[in-house]
Amino acid sequence: MSDVYARRVARRISVLATTAALTVTGLLATAPTAQAAMPTPVSAATARTYLAALTVKAEGSSTGYSRDLFPHWITQSGACNTREVVLKRDGVNVVQDSSCAAVSGSWYSEYDGATWYAASDLDIDHVVALAEAWRSGANSWTTSKRQAFANDLTRPQLIAVTDNVNQAKGDLDPAEWMPPRSSYHCTYARAWVHTKYYWGLSVDSAEKSKLQSVLNAC
């Protein structure tokens, strides 16, 4: 068994365990009627058009990858970095201190349906993970372009979600992982394709097949 294959099997087991735990504890709840959210992704019809236009190729190597090659959580305004901007945007009644840290508020995690009241319970997920982007073409980008990708507040690429769910996702693509909350699959697929299309990233055949399946059911 190759190291890459073993790593992916281990991640899939972790994802299944996390989903099962969330179901048992009742966290797979329905969404509230109103909430803050990331930028709206393109429609399913547009996403299908975008997907058809993406380059399909085998996923590249992770050789040379480092998160440091994607400078993230850069300063956006004053004392606020990208993480704090997303926490403010995605939360409800968020209060920030003088250093822009979120000290109170509530956040609904679209991936699993959990509501949190402490920012420390949340991760800011890159919908298209940095390592996934690296293997899909970002390895050839300039550092400046990778920084823009890692802090993209305009496309549906950043979202505040339950930390352990984000960690279970890791750098998996939709053929390997989808949010535990199935009612969010359509939005997630639209966001994924929107982001990859804008940034000119490739998809592998299994990834494309899964995205087509999800988008056709939207």
pLDDT 10s digits, 129-186 = 999 999 999 999 999 999 999 999 999 999 999 999 999 999 999 999 999 999 999 9
Distance CA 107, CA 121 (A): 9
8 A C-beta contact, residue 27 and residue 112: yes
Mean pLDDT of the chain: 88
**pLDDT band for position 37 (cuts 50, 70, 90):** confident
How many Cα atoms occupy the beta-carbon half-sphere of 74 within 13 Å? 14
For residue 17, pLDDT over 60 is answered with no
Strand extents, DSSP E, the chain: 75-77, 80-81, 91-96, 102-108, 115-116, 122-126, 158-162
- Specify the 3-state DSSP secondary structure of 188: helix
pLDDT at position 33 is 35
For residue 24, pLDDT over 70 is answered with no
pLDDT at position 35 is 54
* Residue predicted with more confidence, 93 or 22: 93
**pLDDT band for position 23 (cuts 50, 70, 90):** very low
Hey, what's the torsion of the CAs at 193, 195, 201, 202, to 10 degrees?
-10
- Domain ranges (residues) in the chain: 3-216
Predicted TM-score of the model (pTM):
0.84
